Amino acid sequence: MTVLQSGTLVDSRYKVAQRIGSGGMADVYLCEDQHLHRQVALKVMHERFAQDKQFVERFEREAQAAAGLQHKNVVGVYDRGQVGGTYYIAMEYLTGRTLKDVVNAMGALDPKLAIHIVQQVLAAAKFAHSRGIVHRDIKPQNVMIDDEWNVKVTDFGIAHNPVAGDVTQTGQMIGTAQYISPEQAQGKPISSASDIYSTGAVLFELLTGKVPFDGESSVAIALKHINEPAPRPSLVNPAVPPVLDAVVLKAMAKSPVERFASADEFSAALENAKVSLGEGAGKTEIRSAPTAVAATAAVAATPPSEDELKRKRRKRNWIIAGCVLAAIAVALLLWFLLAGNKQTVPNVIGRSVGDAQSRLASAGFESQVFNEQTTKAPAGEVFKQSPGGGEEAKKGSTVILTVSSGPGKVVMPDVSGLKQSEATEKLEAQGLKVTVKKEFDPDVKKGRAIRTTPLAGTTAEKGSEVDLYISKGPEQIEVPNVVGMDIEEATTTLEKDGFEVDTIEEDSSEDEGQVLKQSPAATTKADDGSTVKLTVASGTNDVPDVTGLSEADATQELEDAGFKVETSEVDVPDSDDDGNVVGQDPSSGTASVGSIVTIEVGVFSGTE
């Protein structure tokens, strides 16, 4: 995956400040346009899609579609190009919040504010529709709101342009489940009426704070859009007036032909509702012209006589009885026809989507494909079907296939420096399986996380295994034996093996600088980079008192103490002192080992 770091210059023009968003196809970065000195949003396609021709076409279609939509309610597109092994679009940078953020923070909006916002969305849709472009993914997340409640519609990533062609696979659902039109959910051809439906779903959410349909999965929600009538907003929020109930229900009609014919017509209905709200909520209802005419005619008619009423009642009863009998006959006929037209549905779970559709077609069934992220099956494999394998269903009916789109991607979090338990919990919260590995590290405290594989900031599949490396602290190595070496040689030896050296001196008869002791002891193990303490001979010793000893004995004792001996003769008056030491220098205390001690030997030359 291409991750642009802060300061990166794209195409010698766009300087990256920071990543501000991430979606299914691309990441979005805030950049500074070095040529025009303005902020732009750079949308960079995920690199894994750059090798897929369909995704590239879809991405470029967004740029082409949006570049041609220069409108105050549509996000502007400035430029496109390539970066690394993928593609980018340079767009208008918008401050503010998404409409979804507004709803999450405020809940149901005031009806007049909801109308104000949706009319701007419809203005953007009208402009796109006039140029042959259907957005196909109108939702609050794709609507930006500034502080003045001005609207910008974003993300034409799956927009459909009949001229440019459509890269969507037949039978595949495109859009977001909570706002998708029934025809999109069924993989049928789409039109501007599909955007009308999605905008109606957005209006429902603004009026109630909730989506019109919800469920445990995108498939369940899509089936509700197909099969269930849109709920009245007032059932969720009683403050919604009937006039807005009527607008939402018309916009979200199951059949495209029953919806508003255009964004203009939808906006006009909202304008009428706004006028009604100004006069008092709920005073005006939207009714079709035939109903209004019939009501007027009924008021103007002359009241019928009693005999006429009886005749009408008898006639009505016969009509009702005839209808009931006809309905029973039709029901019986359909039962006989359908009972003989049922067939066993093949079990296609575990098969590739192409293989599954082929097997169903051979058995006489249509198929409808929905994609869903899951760890239950590899991408492209069917993991649910309805009706299930082995069940009976009408030949030619549609089997709903739920196909795995893979487990989905997550951005690897940075866990460096965390305790093992904290790092593991953070990774598992992203749906990742953690394998702990330990290694020596001189810079990371024992028991703390060093890194992960994949690295932080890159992507990984949900449910995949990741390696978490935990520090064992510095590596332990064997301490060499340096006792008996001089301090310089000992220091060189220890530092070569990665140790620090600390010394203390001790009086000794050994040569100055010789290592007397070491800690830790030789052949034991210590942390790489730890300190070895050395006890070194200081080079001094006590000078023994040799006076009264013979010259030979005095010399031997001094040399044993590490001193050199020089002799001088002095006359002595007493014959007992002849040949003995009568004085020495130094006479006591300490002196450097190897230094000279001078002894004075008595010589008797007189007569008694």
Q: Which of 263, 279, 265, 246 is nearest to 112 (CA)?
A: 279
3-state secondary structure of 51: coil
137 noted as active-site residue: yes
Which residues lie below 8 Å from residue 203, measured CB to CB, with a gap of 6+? 114, 118, 244, 247, 248, 251
Nearest to 164 by CA among 84, 262, 78, 57: 57
The full DSSP string for 273-326 is: HHHHHHH-TTS-----HHHHHHHHHHHHSPPPPHHHHHHHHHHHHHHHHHHHHH
Q: How far apart are the first and last CA of the chain?
A: 113
Residue with structure tokens 């979200």? 252
Structure tokens at 543: 């000078």
Judge contact between 405 and 371, C-beta under 8 A: yes
Give the helix/strand (H/E) hosting 424: helix 420-428
Q: What share of the chain is helix, strand, coil (3-state, %, to 5)?
A: 35, 25, 40
Catalytic residue among 27, 137, 245, 441: 137
Gyration radius of the chain's alpha carbons:
46
Work out whether the CA dihedral 209, 215, 217, 221 comes out positive or negative. Answer: negative
Helix (H, G, I), strand (E, B) or coil at 45: strand
Cis, peptide link before residue 520, omega less than 30° from 0:
yes
d(CA 179, CA 143): 13
Residue from 386, 377, 328 nearest 352 by CA: 377
Q: Which residues are catalytic?
A: 137
